[in-house]
Structure 1
Amino acid sequence: MAVALSLFSAKSLTTAATVSPFPDNPKTLILEQCKTIKDLNQIHAHVIKTGYLFNPRVAENLLESSAILLPGSMDYALSIFRVIDEPNPAAYNILIRGFTSKQFPENALMLFRQMREDGVLPDKYTFPCILKACSRLRALEEGEQIHAQIAKFGLGSYGFVQNTLIHMYANCGEVEVARRVFDGMLEKEIITWNAMFAGYTKSGHWEEVVNLFDIMLKSDVEFDEVTLISVLTACGRLGDLELGEWIHEYIEAKNLKGSLNLITSLVDMYAKCGRVDTARKLFDEMPRRDVVAWSAMISGYSQSNQCKQALSLFHEMQRQNVAPNEVTMVSVLSSCAVLGALEMGKWVHSFIKRKRMKLTVTLGTALMDFYAKCGSVEYSIEVFEKMPSKNVLTWTVLIQGLASNGQGRRALEVFSVMQEKEIQPNDVTFIGVLSACSHGGLVEEGRSFFISMSRDFGIEPRIEHYGCMVDILGRAGLIEEAYQFIKNMPIEPNAIVWRTLLASCKVHKNVEIGEKSFHQLVTLGPAHSGDYILMSNVYASVGRWEDALNVRGQMKEKGIKKTPGCSLIELDGMIHEFFAEDSAHPHSKEIYSAIEGIMSRIKLAGYVPNTAEARLDAEEDEKESSVSHHSEKLAIAFGLIRTSPGTTIRISKNLRVCTDCHSATKLISKVFNREIVVRDHNRFHHFREGICSCNDYW
């Protein structure tokens, strides 16, 4: 027979070496003592000489040794298989298993087709082997055809066949079909339940994992460590702390704390449920920690926005000489992105290159996102171009990165290329596209894309898309149109939509609609300090100081505390934090002295302090000092005195940049000949030679 697969060179089939004494039944010798291809050569030669090769069981032993037990020997296995006159199902099964286990599932499918063409009937052991190959390839159509053959040959009642069917369908995304197979089984072993749990976990059906576990408990079915790991993963994704804690108690009661995988799953569950301190306590108590445990804890810190702790733990991981994996790198890059820690993230990128880590879609997209969120969008584009494969999220991150860095037109060009390449955009892509229109003042384009997403792509706008449209109209000064747009929305506007309109009212000094927006926000509740500050600033922008103070008074009466402005700057691998009018920094005396000099120099260049941005409780003679001590100005001053001339200064701020800081930073960039990149709550501002990338449109 002919098999269209590569064959091993025949010269290795003869050798002068001897094996003595040679047993009558060489099964044990072949399967247990044969450790290398050289050993197999010797035994194979004796099998040929003695005529044992014509014994099907001996031939199968040789096949099993070469195809499954020994590494990298599939070509040798094929050379043995080729000389068997009439291979039986067992011989085919061994080769199919070998191809699948050694990451050649396509060859397994080819061999199965050849088996059927040669009229060899598969047995109950053939189907689990070939279904695993289908699962690896996510070859649903072939898997369905094999399922039909299982029914035709009457082999569907075997538990191990049904288990692999469940696994195949689940891995191909057909979890509902997998569940039908599961429900149709009269007897279910623990491996069956775990196959179904694994299917739900892989496809992200977290609620189904929890529901199935509830059925399992009510059925008094024994579960094992594998079950609990699946359920703990689901608890973390769902925030189901109650069930997670029950499993923790069970682990304690059954003395299962010695399982590294189980405790790592507990750490991950607690971290994702917001109990980071509990996760860290468990982590610290672990007698040994592998890369998965370290990654779970670092990821927990990153996802709970404790990014400094995430980076600190990563440094500790490095000191412990634990090699990070892709999951670790993605979490670290995410933390660097939040903190604006460009230098740290660049080191991570360099580490990835040095270790020759594969630039997967997940890792590449995380790198792109990191660079974009640090204001280095050109680096983000460079990573994008080097990625061997990309998905819709990759394209979306690029669009969002360009939009937030003031390159709205370029973002729309990327969206156009995405369509040319027939990459189907999703709802998140359109948030990026509409944001590009918003930050670029592209009102007509924004209207067109908003209509197109449902008309041309079948994507119904969510509240986020309506919010983007309100932002597009509001930033352009079309306040009345934005207000009517909200009133005509087919879904109930939320606080973010009204807050977006209120922010535009502040910029364009529209008190009437500002008051209506604020009223809606107070009605929706709970109170948000930013809403009161915005409304107070709307009044202040038109000189209604008494009304502005009244709004601040309402805050005080209700016990609402203002979120303090905070700016971060990374220097020499350290993150420095500044608050407005704060003197906690160890170099504050030097910083405040530098601020005076900076203000004096930019005044000569035309800077006029906007005292409307000062603290409302500041006395008239204190207002100018108040605005000069905003957190971003302190951070910029520290950057100027601590870096060499010409160095780019990068700042991250938790709130929106105020008009005074924006005007001052433009002049600082010109007077001191520095590029200054400021990431605020909404977008990036790239200040260069007295001009901002936002064109004063933010």
Structure 2
Amino acid sequence: MERPAMLSVDSSDSYKPFSGMKNEETVELNAKNLRLDCCIFPSINWINGDRAQSSIYRDTLHLLHRTTTISLSQVQQIHAQLLRTGLYDLPHYRTKLLSTYANHHRFSDAKSLLHSLLKPDLLSFTTLINAFSKFKEFKNTLNLFSELLANGLYPDAHVLPSIIKACTGILAVKIGKQVHGFSVASGLSLDPFVESSLVHFYVKCDELDGAHKLFKNMVEKDVVSWSALAAGYARKGDVLNAKKVFNEVKGLGLKPNTVSWNGMIAGFNQSGCFLDAVFMFQQMHARGFTSDGTSISSVLPAIGDLGYLNSGTQVHGYVIKTGFLIDKCIVSALIDMYGKCGCALEMSKVFEDTGLVDVGACNALIAGLARHGLVDKALRVFKELQDQGMELNVVSWTSVIACCSQHGKDIEALELFRGMQAAGVKPNAVTIPCLLPACGNIAALTHGKAAHCFSLKSGISDDVYIGSALIDMYANCGKIQVARCCFDRMPARNLVCWNAMLGAYAMHGKANDAIEIFHLMQRSGEKPDSVSFTSLLSSCSQSGLTEEGQHYFESMSRDHGIEARIEHYACIVSLLGRAGKLEQAYSMIKKMPFVPDACVWGALLSSCRLHHNMSLGEVAAGKLFELEPMNPGNYILLSNIYASKGKWKEVDKVRDTMRDKGLRKNPGCSWIEVKNRVHMLLAGDKSLPQMDKILDKLNRLSMEMKKAGYLPNIDNVLQDVEEQEKEHILCGHSEKLAVVFGILNTSQGSPLRVTKNLRICGDCHVFIKFISGFEGREIFVRDTNRYHHFKDGECSCGDYW
């Protein structure tokens, strides 16, 4: 490689130190700008002679020592002056110039200056390497180190710590070990600074065995290296070794300081060893050490995760007593702690009382409100902060989007995402997985695709969590093939990705595909967990694969060492119940090794509703009334069983009970995306602008159905009214309204995607099957149980749902 040309002054008395310098940075060496009498060169003299040269040497060196106050333009003028006077060859000037350029962050200029030297010496390299390392220009540091060696120079104890620091900064384990080997071979490893740097390098790179060996062999053990080693074990969650190293301090003749304790507390908190973090905090105070902001902000999250409200209150009192409430990090940690402990009132009080409204505290408050399902309050706080002009960051927006997405405010989540982009806040790899469930929940495919495109453009689509969220979103929007494509194209997969694909197939009732992906997962070396078996058993239940489902249920503990949980029993009860084996399902409940919960009894009650089994239905309902006395769905299911048997008095009794408890049936609600907008339709809603057109279209379609031999299934109207009124009631079901609305507002032949908050009824199922063939449409309907893909007059469920 050709060495860059040396710098020189041309005959026009105009000089650019580096070819990359902008025109306005050109140093003009003429009479005007050389009048620097009282500023730069107070004793400059252009008469040749030793006295003049001595004066220039003295004044220039004095000025270069002012590296913190000297301006860049002054540096450039001095550089030019040194070249002109011939003083540039003196090592003192070169090293000071290199250091000064680096201090001004003119790294390219500094490197160009180094490359201009015919034979750069070790001092020049050391000056620049140390400067680059200081400013965390770690890649440049290592590149210069390579150049140093290429020039036949060997590093000394003054430069090696900076090289090791650079390896630590970018976790360059292989290079760091090579530098360690060189230090041992050259004897420099005995230098205290080199030893300490190497210990920190191995700790940061999670090579704790190597760090421990080094520490044991250190000639001069210091408290910094000892603290770093102990904290490294704590961060890894190795409680035994962390405490062993920490307790050896007396035998080493060292005295721990606040930083030592903080490292242990923060390390245990980061590794999830919350109890140990709290214990270290208590020990710190017991041994007479005073905690600082770092100690408190590190222990509060651990207290919150443990739910130790009393301890949290004591720390809060200490914070008030010591005046730490002015620390924004501590305020945020207090809000977070109270949020985790379920104290929404105290959390809001800390936020309001401190008066330190910063973005960290805002984020903690929003996250805390979201954790407790206080979505409306979280949205109100977020809006108020916006109105106050608070510069909310990506964490703020992501928190409130996740809050809405997790608690049924899906449309609000989509609107917030648009607002986030309008505010100029760029979403990240956490935002997208928080948004995608909202798109999937209401089948907002267009919005989901837009989020997918954003992740592709941003280069974050390979993230496993985004990949898993995309699989869920496309599956929820009825695009199971696209979900599989996303899965197949993932460069790396974890268990979450496999489970997402299993859950997608379960939702669509594709049991055979679920079984195939389950075996593929095992062949790839990924071990299934309890979630994997929940999806597998659910898919068998949806498709009526009773024997296969029982086989996998038994194989859980036999072949995989996974004990069945309550959700697995719920799947098996549903599997047997849906297949009509209600007594066998009831027997399974009675043999369970733990008390059945509402999910198990709910699965039995739903099956009893499906097969009109009143006696077992009453048993299941009775248990559910004890477990969930305020869940209206259980009363509705029992009422439906009675109604299917014509037991209208019993129906009235159940409804009277609901009325006395203040319970109301959840209204049927469906969502459909039309022209990039999600529309919500309620059962029996007459307020839609197009309701007249919808009802007219419904009537015409009903006539066509009757001509084709289809009759309304009035058995699905569980009310004691006339048949004509029952037909009218069926027309008001939300999924019918959504499908007809979609037909009226989309082009012929385009697919429709509907999401419903309840189970689709049999009459609507027959109606949509007919529509799919009559109108030539693919219609996707997702209810609370599964996905129905209607096409050419058939449904993917095979009428088993």
Output the TM-score relative to the length of structure 2: 0.77
Q: Which position in structure 2 is the counterpart of 1:244?
A: 347
The CA distance in 1 between the partners of 2:565 and 2:220, in whole Å, is: 48
Q: Which among 498, 513, 522 is matched to residue 419 of structure 1? A: 522
Alpha-carbon distance change, 360 to 552 in structure 1, aligned in 2, over 3 angstroms: same
2:188 counterpart SS class: coil
Q: Which position in structure 2 is the counterpart of 1:147?
A: 212
What amino acid does structure 1 have at the position aligned with 2:168? T
Alpha-carbon distance change, 105 to 588 in structure 1, aligned in 2, over 3 angstroms: farther
Q: Which position in structure 2 is the counterpart of 1:464?
A: 567
Q: Which has the larger radius of gyration?
A: 2
Contact 1:267–1:282 (CA under 8 A) maintained in structure 2: no
2:159 counterpart SS class: helix
- Matches of residues 578-657 of structure 1 in structure 2 within 5 Å? 578-614=681-717, 616=719, 618-657=721-760
Q: State yes or no: 1:94 paired with 2:162.
A: yes
Contact 1:200–1:208 (CA under 8 A) maintained in structure 2: no
Q: State yes or no: 1:161 paired with 2:264.
A: no
Query: How many residues get paired?
Result: 676
Q: Which position in structure 2 is the counterpart of 1:515?
A: 618
Deviation for aligned residue 1:680 = 0.6
Please list the CA deviations of residues 90-132 of structure 1 after superposition, one character each: whole Å capped at 9, or x if unmatched.
4322112112324534432443344345543266655675566
Q: 124-133 or 288-297, which moves further after superposition?
A: 124-133
The CA distance in 1 between the partners of 2:100 and 2:491, in whole Å, is: 42
Contact 2:122–2:155 (CA under 8 A) maintained in structure 1: no
Identical-pair percentage: 31
The CA distance in 1 between the partners of 2:365 and 2:156, in whole Å, is: 48
Q: Which has the higher contact order (CA 8 A, sep 6+)?
A: 1
Contact 2:130–2:162 (CA under 8 A) maintained in structure 1: yes
What amino acid does structure 2 have at the position aligned with 1:280? F
The CA distance in 2 between the partners of 1:114 and 1:241, in whole Å, is: 57
Contact 1:615–1:626 (CA under 8 A) maintained in structure 2: no
Please list the CA deviations of residues 558-583 of structure 1 after superposition, one character each: whole Å capped at 9, or x if unmatched.
22211111111111122111111111
The CA distance in 1 between the partners of 2:454 and 2:461, in whole Å, is: 12
Deviation for aligned residue 1:200 = 2.2
Alpha-carbon distance change, 326 to 597 in structure 1, aligned in 2, over 3 angstroms: same
Q: Which position in structure 2 is the counterpart of 1:536?
A: 639
Deviation for aligned residue 1:371 = 0.5
Deviation for aligned residue 1:388 = 1.3
Unaligned residue ranges in structure 2 (runs of 5+): 9-16, 18-78, 250-254, 275-300
The CA distance in 2 between the partners of 1:426 and 1:588, in whole Å, is: 48
Please list the CA deviations of residues 292-316 of structure 1 after superposition, one character each: whole Å capped at 9, or x if unmatched.
3222222222223212111111112
Q: State yes or no: 1:64 paired with 2:167.
A: no
Please list the CA deviations of residues 408-440 of structure 1 after superposition, one character each: whole Å capped at 9, or x if unmatched.
110110010000011111211111111111112
Q: 261-270 or 321-330, which moves further after superposition?
A: 261-270
- Matches of residues 31-180 of structure 1 in structure 2 within 5 Å? 31-34=99-102, 35-43=106-114, 48=119, 53-54=121-122, 59-67=125-133, 69=135, 70=137, 72-73=139-140, 74-80=142-148, 87-102=155-170, 104-116=172-184, 118-121=186-189, 125-126=193-194, 129-130=197-198, 133-134=201-202, 137=205, 139=206, 142-153=207-218, 158=223, 160-165=224-229, 168-174=232-238, 178=242
Q: 277-286 or 311-320, which moves further after superposition?
A: 277-286
Q: State yes or no: 1:357 paired with 2:460.
A: yes
Contact 1:198–1:230 (CA under 8 A) maintained in structure 2: no
Alpha-carbon distance change, 127 to 268 in structure 1, aligned in 2, over 3 angstroms: farther
Q: Which among 484, 500, 510 is matched to residue 407 of structure 1? A: 510
Q: Which position in structure 1 is the counterpart of 2:258?
A: 189
Alpha-carbon distance change, 695 to 117 in structure 1, aligned in 2, over 3 angstroms: farther
Q: State yes or no: 1:265 paired with 2:364.
A: yes
Contact 1:143–1:168 (CA under 8 A) maintained in structure 2: yes
What amino acid does structure 2 have at the position aligned with 1:61? T
Deviation for aligned residue 1:25 = 7.0
1:387 counterpart SS class: coil
The CA distance in 1 between the partners of 2:368 and 2:449, in whole Å, is: 30
Deviation for aligned residue 1:589 = 1.7
Q: Which position in structure 1 is the counterpart of 2:26?
A: none
Q: Which position in structure 1 is the counterpart of 2:401?
A: 298
Q: Which position in structure 1 is the counterpart of 2:673?
A: 570
Contact 1:54–1:84 (CA under 8 A) maintained in structure 2: no
Contact 2:398–2:430 (CA under 8 A) maintained in structure 1: yes
Q: Which position in structure 2 is the counterpart of 1:5?
A: none
Q: State yes or no: 1:319 paired with 2:429.
A: no
Contact 1:240–1:273 (CA under 8 A) maintained in structure 2: no
Q: State yes or no: 1:24 paired with 2:24.
A: no
Please list the CA deviations of residues 34-92 of structure 1 after superposition, one character each: whole Å capped at 9, or x if unmatched.
3224423424655946xxx355xx65323223455447422222222566766444432
What amino acid does structure 1 have at the position aligned with 2:393? D
Q: Which position in structure 2 is the counterpart of 1:200?
A: 269
The CA distance in 1 between the partners of 2:317 and 2:158, in whole Å, is: 41
The CA distance in 2 between the partners of 1:222 and 1:161, in whole Å, is: 32
Alpha-carbon distance change, 162 to 380 in structure 1, aligned in 2, over 3 angstroms: farther
Contact 1:67–1:99 (CA under 8 A) maintained in structure 2: no
1:326 counterpart SS class: coil
Please list the CA deviations of residues 430-470 of structure 1 after superposition, one character each: whole Å capped at 9, or x if unmatched.
11111111112122221221222222222222211111111
Output the TM-score relative to the length of structure 1: 0.88
Deviation for aligned residue 1:498 = 0.2
The CA distance in 1 between the partners of 2:755 and 2:563, in whole Å, is: 34
Please list the CA deviations of residues 232-285 of structure 1 after superposition, one character each: whole Å capped at 9, or x if unmatched.
555555645356345425642xxx32x433433333333333334244245323
The CA distance in 2 between the partners of 1:460 and 1:408, in whole Å, is: 22
The CA distance in 1 between the partners of 2:770 and 2:397, in whole Å, is: 45
Q: Which position in structure 2 is the counterpart of 1:389?
A: 492
Deviation for aligned residue 1:495 = 0.9
- Matches of residues 469-548 of structure 1 in structure 2 within 5 Å? 469-548=572-651
Deviation for aligned residue 1:167 = 5.2
Alpha-carbon distance change, 501 to 124 in structure 1, aligned in 2, over 3 angstroms: farther
Q: State yes or no: 1:684 paired with 2:787.
A: yes
Unaligned residue ranges in structure 1 (runs of 5+): 1-8
1:586 counterpart SS class: coil
